[in-house]
A and B are shown apart, each in its own frame.
Chain A
Amino acid sequence: MRSSVFLLCVVGLSLTQIQFSSADLVDQTCKQTPNYDLCVKTLRADPRSSKADVTGLALVMVDTIKAKATATLDRINGLLGTTPDPKTKAALSHFVELYDNAVLKADIPSAIEALKKGNPKFAEQGINDAANEADSCDRAFGGASPITSFNRNVSDLSRVASAIIRLLS
């Protein structure tokens, strides 16, 4: 009985050891980004992070941006259907195009390919663009709109991803 408890403790401890050493990479990497908390929270939420190298962590971050951009796109599409003001509508349409054609169809796939194929500088371009597009969307609405937090999430995540990608070159 005691030996099995002991064995369990050893196994449990070794598991936590493994957890600690990969958490170190997450920790180390996130310290070099402009938003440590967001970085750690995002990476730890994804099971891939525990076994990933820095490229892998960058990919996790890019996948998160993809998910968030998709959510933003859907939100904007929704607002587009209900907003009466034509100027606002026009701006929203522009952002739909931005998030759909630019961020989701080009920036993100290009960044993922660049990371997977070992040419991270082209990933940096795409992600920086995603941050810029999210920022311009945010600025247009003066930082107070139903999509503000969506835009800011995309922007913040992109800046973190960009910092991680820069570590690769």
Chain B
Amino acid sequence: MADPNPARTFNDPEDPIIAATVPDHYSPLLDVDPPAGENSRRPLKGFLVILSGLLLVGLLMALIGKSGPSVSQKTDLTLNAPAESTNISAQFLEPVSRGPSAGVSEKSFRLHSGVRAPFPWSNTMLSWQRTGYHFQPEKNWMNDPNGPMFYGGWYHFFYQYNPDAAVWGNIVWGHAVSKDLIEWLHLPLAMVADHWYDTNGVWTGSATLLSDGQVIMLYTGATNESVQVQNLAYPADLSDPLLVDWVKYPGNPVLVPPPGIDDRDFRDPTTAWYGPDGKWRIAIGSKVNKTGISLVYDTEDFKKYELIEGVLHAVPGTGMWECVDLFPVSLKEDNGLDTSFNGPGVKHVLKASLDDDKNDYYAIGTYSLESGNWTPDNPNLDVGIGLRYDYGKFYASKTFYDQNKQRRILWGWIGETDGESADIKKGWASVQSIPRTVVFDKKTGTNILQWPVEEIKSLRKSCKKFDKLEVGPGSVVTLELEKATQMDITAEFEIDKEALKRIGESDMEYSCSTSGGSAQRGELGPFGLLLLADEGRCEQTPVYFYVAKGTDGQLKTFFCTDESRSSLANDVDKRIFGSTVPVIKGEKLSMRILVDHSIIESFAQGGRTCITSRVYPTKAIYGAAHLYLFNNATSANITASIQTWAMKSAYIRPYSSHAF
């Protein structure tokens, strides 16, 4: 911001001209506290003359304009204005401060000594935040992943995008393609809000690939009256593997909210699966009062639909279900399954994004084509009240079946957790998670496993190994590394057996989010890695395990990420989150962490529990970011084996014909 008058030495900062012009903008909707009235009285006549003179000048100023130059003009005039009028003008024209000393003079206000000034983000700090290998558009706002699929030899990815600003708004469908889910080419916008049935929003949708080669895209449109409807779109030219152009079905919308469902509770159609009698089925999330539900429709041609009686499933108290997803997982094989697959040896995962708490929940259960219902294996861990895909920042996720490599792949929207003003300054907001394969966890039978796609390994370089490092209680080990801002890390930990035997029972149930984070010491934890830590460790983001004996006498392992000291800035979220992670007897405690500037994705026990974190360090950036190993337990010795790779940046650029 330009300083209009840096050479000014005038002592009294009170500016009656400013005070006089406030009424032009100030909408007196709120009652103004009556003036304190402790200012000494002035001769009335003199005051009136001065006041009217100032008001006249003020009017002139308002006419000239309110930007920088006029401010300096105002201050120039103040040099001539008598000092004694200032307090009185202030009294009449602005609300008195409600601070402990009423009517505090302009002269004496200063930055409060005990409180830090809000963080002045520099361009260096902000530009560091941009990721090296996560999917994000070149600038502006992104949210939900849409219509992911593999077609024509390319992985296609669409996303909610604001082409105009780094905040939500003017939402259209962005589009990008990739050969390996890691390097991306940005294509032109796939769909914009150009019809009455999506003029208020081209919102989330999913793709269905038909066996005859057709590509069906169903998406939610917000109509000119803000009613949520479902629309059909398809590629203009199926022979174009990049599917650049899209056509909207002239008969749109194909679905409108059914009776009993609110106009604003009907969105995010799923990929279709093959139903009985040769029909296709889709699910759409909604709610009835506070019960989250998923409606199901039958269709033969994706143009005409029939609402199936009842619901796919409902869970009371969970609120609106957004981005519903239903997909099969194999109980025996390691590959993914086509969305229509069903039969023995198969369970179905039902997932919903809960609008009420902005988290993605899943449950494993059984889907019956005959009854059209899905039932959870464990009603105590039903959708919305049980397991989450990710215990950090992760929402609106969506899977697709990758027929190219026979995998089920999960995309998740990772929003910002800094202030919107910083997003605006840096010109972008949000990234996508690294795509994760999803398989049933055969060992526990109760979880799914998520793991970064294999192709991410192509970015690995300069491996470093640290074998069997012994870390005593209360110690930190520096792992010498360059480029600690883009890393792939795997780590295995063992707690010394003696400590495990010694541990007493705890009468308090530990929880990552209510704990003191990595600073809260227990007998068997916390221990793990300090990421994005500067040399003095003023800034650090610990990702750690904490083992404790629960009130039931059983050992429980917690996996947490502690953002509380991730940044010196005070205008970013700094939460501690995580969850328990099941550990099978004989398993070592293992974690994998992808560090990529302002995003950290952590996976425990092969992906049984995942935590995605957004961090915005101010010091631990570029070459000043280091990696440490730590053990803050009071009693246990830890043996750690760690492998780290520096990660190259991924090629994520706009498409040009030269790319080939």
Contacts and interface: CB of A to CB of B under 8 A. Distances in A.
B425 interface: yes
Interface string B3-41: 111001111011100110110011101110100000000
Interface string B546-588: 0000000000000000000000001100000000000000000
Interface centre among B29, B168, B169, B421 (most CB of A within 10 A): B421
Interface secondary structure of A, over-half rule: helix
B355 A94 contact: no
B165 A141 contact: no
Interface string A29-60: 00000000010011001100000000000000
Q: How large is the interface on A (under 10, 10 to 19, 20 to 34, 35 or more residues)?
A: 35 or more
Interface string B99-122: 111001010011111111110100
Interface string A133-162: 100110111111110111011000000000
B97 A145 contact: yes
Contacts of B385: none
Contacts of A133: 419, 421, 571
A139 B96 CA distance: 17
Contacts of B25: 67, 70-71, 74
Contacts of B71: 77-78, 80-81
Contact of B168 (A125, A144, A169): A125
Given A68-B27, A82-B15, A169-B320, A74 B420 contact: no
A106 B165 contact: yes
Contacts of A150: 95
Interface stretch (B72-80, B397-405, B618-626): B72-80
Contacts of A46: 29
B13 A83 contact: yes
B231 interface: no
A141 B30 contact: no
Interface in A94-113: 94-98, 101-103, 105-107, 109-110, 113
Interface string B327-341: 000000000000000
Contacts of A153: 30
B24 to A, nearest CB: 8
Given A81-B75, A144-B97, A144-B99, A139 B112 contact: yes
Interface of A: 38, 41-42, 45-46, 64, 67-68, 70-71, 74-75, 77-85, 87-91, 93-98, 101-103, 105-107, 109-110, 113-114, 116-119, 121-122, 125-126, 129, 132-133, 136-137, 139-146, 148-150, 152-153, 168-169
18 contacts: A68-B27, A78-B22, A79-B15, A79-B106, A80-B3, A81-B4, A81-B15, A91-B111, A91-B117, A103-B421, A110-B167, A110-B169, A113-B168, A118-B264, A136-B571, A143-B100, A146-B94, A149-B98
